[in-house]
Amino acid sequence: MLGLLESGPRHGYDLKRAHDERFGHSRALAYGQVYSTLSRLLRDGLVAVEGVEAGEGPERKRYAITEAGVRKVEQWLATPEKPVADLHNTLYTKVILAVQSGRDATEVLDAQRAAHLRRMRELTRRKTESAPADQLVHDYALFHLDADLRWLELAVSRLGQLTKEVRP
């Protein structure tokens, strides 16, 4: 929200729309979330109400970022995100349990590979129809799915060894 307010003051409705246009690829914000966030930002001195307009419904407040808010955005942008290395995910658990139970783990891995490929085709199609900013987010997802596919291939190649280790 703070980053969106840096371009100029906005109403909550405008912030939601700007967020959803730019970042709502997988999930749009709920209006309640927008207004509860604005309340916290106001309480913390990161935004200020710049104006209030009467409307047909409740008054519409226009929010502006404060200097403290700008510093918070700068701090947030300068802080690297924690690299995610999920060592125990659900797919890993499924493979281990399939092997342990004597089921065909290749079927688990093949089904997952097919799901990944479907999703990659969908994202690639959407990417070709998208603006550059949206292409970047699609690329991000595609690279992660590609890494998952490489892991799936490695898992298939190690199933024999894994079976000897895991099966009682």
Which long-range CB contacts under 8 A does 22-27 form with residues at least 24 apart? Answer: 22/133, 25/134, 25/137
The total of other beta-carbon atoms located within 10 Å of residue 5's CB is: 24
CB 142 within 8 A of CB 127: yes
Q: What is the pLDDT of residue 127?
A: 92
Residue of 60, 66, 65 lying closest to 13 (CA atoms): 60
Q: Number of helices and strands (H, E) in the chain?
A: 8, 3
Residue of 97, 44, 38, 46 lying closest to 68 (CA atoms): 46
Domain boundaries, the chain: 2-78, 90-166
Please give the chain's pLDDT, 168 residues, in tens.
999 999 999 999 999 998 988 887 667 888 899 999 999 999 999 999 998 888 777 788 999 999 999 999 999 988 877 776 766 678 888 998 898 888 899 999 999 999 999 999 999 999 999 888 889 989 999 999 999 999 999 999 999 999 998 876
Q: What is the pLDDT of residue 87?
A: 61
Looking at CATH, the fold of the domain delimited by 2-78 is given as Arc Repressor Mutant, subunit A (1.10.10)
